[in-house]
Amino acid sequence: MATEQGYALPPGFSLRETRADGSQEYFLNMGPQHPSTHGVLKLVVRLDGETVIEVVPHLGFIHRAIEKMGENETFVQYIHLTDRMDYLSSHINNLCVCLAIEKAMGIGVPERGEYIRVMVSELQRIQSHLLWWGAFGMDLGAVSAFLYGFKEREKITALFEELCGARLTMNFFRPGGSNADVPENFLARVKEILEELKFSLDEFEVLLTKNPIIRERTLGVGALSRERAINYGCSGPVGRASGIDFDVRKHDPYSVYDRFQFDVPLGKNGDCYDRYMVRMQEMRESIRILAQAMAGFPEGQYRSKEKASYKVPAGSYYANVETARGLYATYMVSDNSFKPYRIKSRSPNFSNLSAINEMSRGGKIADLVAILSTLDLIIPDIDR
């Protein structure tokens, strides 16, 4: 590693330059304790005044070796560890593991179970986007938005608490369905929440979307072209904002997503504004899916017959889902035992984060905050 004046350069950086007029570039450590990195992410930023020249993310502050732990747990036990990766999409992560196990063992899911899965997944997506909306407002300085977002999210969280007893680490889905049936008043509650949510979303549009300050701060900031987004492996709202028409729900439908009518919102420029708009639109699309699911919610069993033990036949299995942040996939290798030989998660956040250097180059520090916010990173999912 190159050194300069006895100091080691942060890894990943080129040498800082001194200009002809004697002014110097400098390095700024953003994080791991910083209000807008939303967790223990460290960004080493090379700055020229306030202008960002280079950003190098440092990971691993919350690495817990979840994939290695998975090798010592049974397949069903592994489900609850995925809660702790992307904790805002825990239902959807659980679903992904269940899908892989079902595929491996040929387990079917009853109609009602599938509908529960879709509904809960979509509620989780809305809940995650609401929290993102609030955090986005706070990162850009509108602190009230943070509380409004949380206020709406709380309603869905309370519903999840009734559904599975937990608010964050759900561990609700099981191979063949779910842990339990929905509570009696579930549909009525969902309907009520959606009505309130529609009103709140309109309020949110007035508060932030139409605000000229937000527009100024997001339009054209952190643009990522479609080609670069594909190269970085961006998925979810980040990829779709760049114009990648890819949504697992649409293009590789799992569960019963192929029965529902919904659009995949696409952006054009891949800037912060597009990422913002795509997420706002996705919440409305999720409401559409939920309305259709509620209309066709069938009676019957919520889970196919439970097996005494889940012994997965030898082979490798892959399942992917669309979490609130993008393509989440589980790849597992079994050697015909109760425990996976190797289990691997593909997390959307890791790929999305990799684009940050390209996005934020040439912007201001404030732009870097806006970009971080619209990437909607969950750090435990990056480190696992």
Partner 1 sequence: MTDTATATVPPAPEAKPALPGVQVDPANGKPSLRRFLGDAANLFKGMGVTFRYIRKPSRVVTREYPENRDTLKFPERFRGQVIMPHDENGDHTCTACTLCEKACPNGSISILTTKNIASKRVLGAFVYRLSSCTLCNLCIEACPFDAIHMGPGFEMATYSRDPLDLILNKKEGR
Partner 2 sequence: MKAYAVNHPIGDIVRSLLPAPWAAIANGALAVAVIAGLVTVSAIFLIWLERKVCAHFQARLGPTRVGPFGLLQPIADAIKLLMKENLRPRGVDNLAYFMAPLLPITGSFLVLAVMPFDHNLQVVDLQAGVVYVVAVSGLGILGILIGGWGSNNKYSLLGSMRSGAQLFSYELSMVLCLLLIVMASGSASLREIVLSQQGTVADWWIFKLPVAGFLAFFLFMISSTAELNRGPLDLSEAESELTGGFHTEYTGISFSMFFLAEFVNMFASAGLGATFFLGGFLAPQFGIGPVDYALAAVPGVIWFFLKTYFLIFLYMWFRWTFPRLRIDHLLSLEWKFLLPVSMANLLLAATLVTFKLIIP
Nearer to partner 1 among residue 128 and residue 320 (C-beta): 320
Q: Which two tokens stand for residue 87?
A: 């904790």
Residue 28 binding result from partner 1, partner 2, none, given CB thresholds of 5 to 8 Å by partner type: partner 2
Residue 243 binding result from partner 2, partner 1, none, given CB thresholds of 5 to 8 Å by partner type: partner 1
Pick from 242, 243, 223, 217: nearest CA to 362: 223
User: By CB under 8 A, how many residues form the interface with partner 1?
Assistant: 66
**Does 68 participate in binding partner 1 (rule CB under 8 A)?**
no
Nearer to partner 2 among residue 247 and residue 367 (C-beta): 367
**Does 254 participate in binding partner 1 (rule CB under 8 A)?**
yes
**Does 337 participate in binding partner 1 (rule CB under 8 A)?**
no
> Which of 267, 340, 363, 380 lies at the binding interface for partner 1 (CB under 8 A)?
267
Residue 325 C-beta: closest distance to partner 2, Å? 21
Distance CA 158, CA 154 (A): 6
Residue 217 binding result from partner 2, partner 1, none, given CB thresholds of 5 to 8 Å by partner type: partner 2
Burial status of residue 61 (CB atoms within 10 A of its CB: 0-12, 13-18, 19 or more): middle
Do the beta carbons of residue 120 and residue 156 sit within 8 Å? no
**Does 158 participate in binding partner 2 (rule CB under 8 A)?**
no
Residue with token string 């939920």: 290
| Amino acid at the residue 127 | Q
> Which of 44, 97, 104, 138 lies at the binding interface for partner 2 (CB under 8 A)?
138
Nearer to partner 2 among residue 78 and residue 276 (C-beta): 276
Please list, in sequence order, all residues whose beta carbon lies within 8 angstroms of the beta carbon of residue 241, skipping any fewer than 6 positions away: 224, 266, 267, 269, 270, 271, 274, 275, 277, 278
User: By CB under 8 A, how many residues form the interface with partner 2?
Assistant: 31
Q: Which two tokens stand for residue 29?
A: 């450590």
Do the beta carbons of residue 189 and residue 195 sit within 8 Å? no
Q: Which two tokens stand for residue 157?
A: 């969280």
Residue 196 binding result from partner 2, partner 1, none, given CB thresholds of 5 to 8 Å by partner type: none
**Does 65 participate in binding partner 2 (rule CB under 8 A)?**
no
Signed CA dihedral, 30, 36, 40, 41: sign only: negative
**Does 197 participate in binding partner 2 (rule CB under 8 A)?**
no
Phi and psi at residue 324, to the nearest 5°: -65, -15
Give contact residues for partner 2 (rule: CB under 8 A).
26, 28, 34-36, 50, 137-148, 151, 207-208, 211, 213-214, 216-217, 364-367, 369
